[in-house]
Amino acid sequence: MRLATWNVNSIRTRVDRVTDWLERADVDVLAMQETKCTDAQFPSMPFAALGYEVAHVGVSQWNGVAIASRVGLADIEIGFAGQPTWSSKPDVEAAAEARALGATCGGVRVWSLYVPNGRSLADPHYAYKLDWLAALRDTAAGWLGDDAGAPIALVGDWNIAPTDEDVWSTEAYLGHTHVSEPERAAFHAINNAGFTDVVRPFTPGPGVYTYWDYTQLAFQKRRGMRIDFILGSPALAARVRHAEIGKDERRGKGASDHAPVLIDLDDQPGDTTQ
């Protein structure tokens, strides 16, 4: 099975690019983030034409996560237990944002995750981000506690560069979010809960990024960050035989500012999805 994640930065704007890549890359399951649309607005027909079922949660032009699968889409779950709520306005009740969606695809439990940005170290959104990650860690650890052999993939835009080699310049990000020690500690806590970065062994070294800002020719100047990850449970990590970052999808007119990330999984006994 080939599993991928991609922050598409508005699926309605980029549906043709996304479905074209799905077909060319022969992807079985794609988790998407930052779809920026409501459920009613999601362009499901182009995916259906290629044989994909789609689950999506989105409530406005912000956030939004989806999973497209051609190997089954079962046990769909919106949000994870304990997911924190958020409101930027004192007169608006806090609610869980459209940032987490789970489904079982080809026997793998896939979670499409769009971790809060944090905005700045002094912003309340930063504390919300850390709370969100802590809740995810606790819940995900519980999943493995219930079934240590479960194949689980936590995938998406984590909005964290967990090591210095994951940013083009540590000086440029000094005092900013994405690289702060509390954020990195929160990311590594999820690693310590049993979820491994299964892509890095196949894409090692500095200068390997998944995101490049639209401004100041960041992509052309190789000024990027590695912030999109696939973290696998032990059972899933043991099945990974290949991984890559689709950097070429960042090129050209109308590209997302993120590149897709994918892995290939060996079959389980009795698995006929490949």
Check the annotation: does 63 bind a ligand: no
Check the annotation: does 125 bind a ligand: no
- Give pLDDT, residue 202: 98
Give the pLDDT confidence of 124-135 residue by residue, as tens digits.
999 999 999 999
Check the annotation: does 191 bind a ligand: no
Check the annotation: does 257 bind a ligand: yes
Give the pLDDT confidence of 244-259 residue by residue, as tens digits.
999 999 999 999 999 9
Distance CA 15, CA 108 (A): 25
Distance CA 177, CA 175 (A): 7
Q: Record the tokens describing residue 113, joined without a space.
A: 């995750």
Which residues are CB-contacts of 88 (< 8 A; sequence separation ≥ 6)? 125
Check the annotation: does 123 bind a ligand: no
Sequence-ordered strand ranges (E) for the chain: 2-7, 29-33, 53-57, 65-69, 74-78, 100-105, 108-114, 152-157, 196-197, 211-212, 224-225, 228-232, 240-245, 261-265
Of residues 49, 42, 85, 41, the one with CA closest to residue 67: 42
- Give pLDDT, residue 74: 98
- Give pLDDT, residue 88: 84
Give the N- to C-terminal CA distance of the chain in Å, as an integer: 5
Where the chain has pLDDT below 50, the residues are 270, 272-274
Question: Which residues are known to be catalytic?
Answer: 114, 157, 258
- Give pLDDT, residue 269: 52
- Give pLDDT, residue 271: 55
3-state secondary structure of 20: helix
- Give pLDDT, residue 272: 45
Check the annotation: does 258 bind a ligand: yes
- Give pLDDT, residue 274: 43
Correct CATH for 2-265 of 3.40.605.10, 3.40.50.300, 3.10.50.40, 3.60.10.10: 3.60.10.10
Distance CA 96, CA 139 (A): 15
Annotated domain spans of the chain = 2-265
Using the 8-state DSSP alphabet, how is residue 123 labeled?
S
Confirm if 136 and 181 have CB atoms less than 8 A apart: no
CA distances from 63 to 53, 58, 175 (A): 20, 7, 25
- Give pLDDT, residue 90: 86
- Give pLDDT, residue 67: 99
